[in-house]
Chain A
Amino acid sequence: MSRPAPSSYRAFGAAHLGHAVPIREGSTAGQVGELDLVENLHYLHTTGLRPPVVHQQFSTNGMVTAASVTPVMKAHWGRRPFVDPTDWQIHVLAAMSGATDTGKVRFEAASNVAGGAGGSSDSALGVTIDVPAGSAQWTLVSGRFTCDPAQAIDWIEMHLFCSGATDTVRVHAVEIHPYLGSVAAGVTTAGFVPHDTLETSADDPLSTYTRQRMLGNLRTLWKTRSGSVVSYSDDLSRATAEIETTSASYQLVQVVPYRSGVGQVSLEWALSGHVTGAGTGNVKLVTSRMLAEGTSEVQALQNVWTSPYTAARHDWDDGGNAVLPVYENQSGHLYVYLQSDGAATARLHSLTAWWKDVA
């Protein structure tokens, strides 16, 4: 008895499943059957559908850096966790400036409130990835930490520090995607019902329920594993921002192309930013559909920009905000505008947007 989770997809000809072909157990060389359908389904559940939520290369000097033994939050990305995957899998391209200290790249979830220096903590919802002393640019290091799928929105924070004060840790690029290592028994939160190898055998009757369950599982995967449209974080500790304006009229600062799929009709989003001094400023988000319909989503920015940046974080789930509607199964663009009051500087420090689960 087992719930297989193969590491690859097995493509086979439709003739194996044709009319009048006997039911086979399958999953053996030269024979295709019910277990192959199950294994491909489980492969998608665990490995095949892991859309990246963060995919970024830092542009200013090609890196973000830290030379302190105290953690400093250098980047953050807001995202609704996936329902079924248990972890965030992280890949980092990093380097050390010298051969003395070990670099530390710590990722953690903001929803875990245990606090530490610079907003960093040693909570369970986080992982510290070592960058070995003397690592050349760019060395791939990886890690993984548990996510909290109960959160409607969570912020993944990246903190940098070193084992000593001699060398500098440098981070060039980050990729984060959901992770699920095995097929657990029982119905998942999303409604995925695992299959067991004992459920089908050669020449045994095949229940309608088994087929219904396979279809139900495929629909669950289709609806709950949607990808992201944009994932951006500036170096949060810089004095300025890559995206900023002093203009009193809205300035178009980015245009993000997207392609919605079947059933995808809205984007959820999160951003952080602030306005200098006591000034006022806004971020405006407009999709192609909103442009056609004459609507927009405007988020007023606050004047506070202090780690852990809680007051500067906003999302679709805040009071007064909403998801961004898009046309289903269409190409379009997300237009990002920034506005100040003409005197202060409005800064956009991070922006993420992802497909809302299909209803």
Chain B
Amino acid sequence: MKTLSTEVLIVGGGIVGASAALVLAKAGRRVTLVERDLCGSRSSGINYGGVRRQGRPVVQLPLSQRAHQIWAGLEALIGTTGEYERSGHFKLARSTADMQALEAYAELSRPYGLDIELISGERLRQQCPWLGGAAVGGSLCPEDGQANPRLVSPAFARAAQAAGAEIIERCELMQVVHDGRDFVAEARLGEDVMQLRAEVMINCAGAWATRLASAFGEQVPLSSGYPSMVVTEPIAHFLPWSLGVEGGSIYCRQVARGNVVLGGGRGYELDDKRARASHDSILGLLPQAAALLPALRHVHIIRTWSGVEAYLPDHQPVIGPSATQAGLLHGFGFCGAGFQIGPAAGEALAELVLHGRSAIALDAFSIARFAPAAAVVPVASSDRLSSHLERKIS
């Protein structure tokens, strides 16, 4: 059996894992990333494509703002624009109460520099002639935007590889233990089984992260969701912003080539890895689309898709050290909102490895919040991580 020894083993080649790999590789660390399918083929590749800070729980905004900076230099970082545009994200209010909620969020998020503009009444009608339905106003975050996840996410992995990370695709982790010194993992690669040894392991396995967490005694109430997506044929440009609806069930954006991408409703799972847009969600979305954007009345949808996204009950991800195992870090459970924040989450995880701490506080995202109170034995893992590696290297 082939054995591979590395410093950092990252499990999962989505945008979070690949971002962590990229930062670590650029810092000169030996990184191996194993991905069960192809990098960026799961949530990171099939999501709506919104690159959005607005609407996030406020506790995520520091990390999200950091991600915003990373996205600003995307092309230089990953070698492709990934069709990223800061076209603006506009969240609609359909009632006074909804508008008040948006106003409250604008206020709450002000310190974080989202530059939110509230638009209503006459200005709304003038600026949004394409808007149908009962919108009383909305909240615009001008620098939020959209990108093509199918291009962006795999490009993070390629950039990590170019920076020296070893990326092994179609490699499924079967089991992992810690032998007191290293993580020892068995993985299947084609017909073969290989052994991987690493001092540090980062669990970025998305909707499948709980298996890895539970191997080290950590139970996380992760559930799978299957957002339904629909895309239209290409049409003349009319929609400048990515749209969401406060308390609503539809979101949409128009890509540069003219197709309108719409999301809303739930698909269904085909097996533990794949999902499809459902009959209900497709038929539920179409009348909403026509009502929201009358320009779509005569337009056809040409494709639908879905995928598996990981949700946690408090709508916050898990980012940070394991509460039970030194050297293990987690970055998963982004609740369908991991695309924009992913690069910063990956960077934060890399910082934990490199410096023993992250520049941005991750306490709100600790896996310990799911542990039964008595069972947590706090591991001073942040100290142990970097000193672990220093000992090894010297």
B is a partner of A: no
Binding site for B on A (CB under 8 A): none
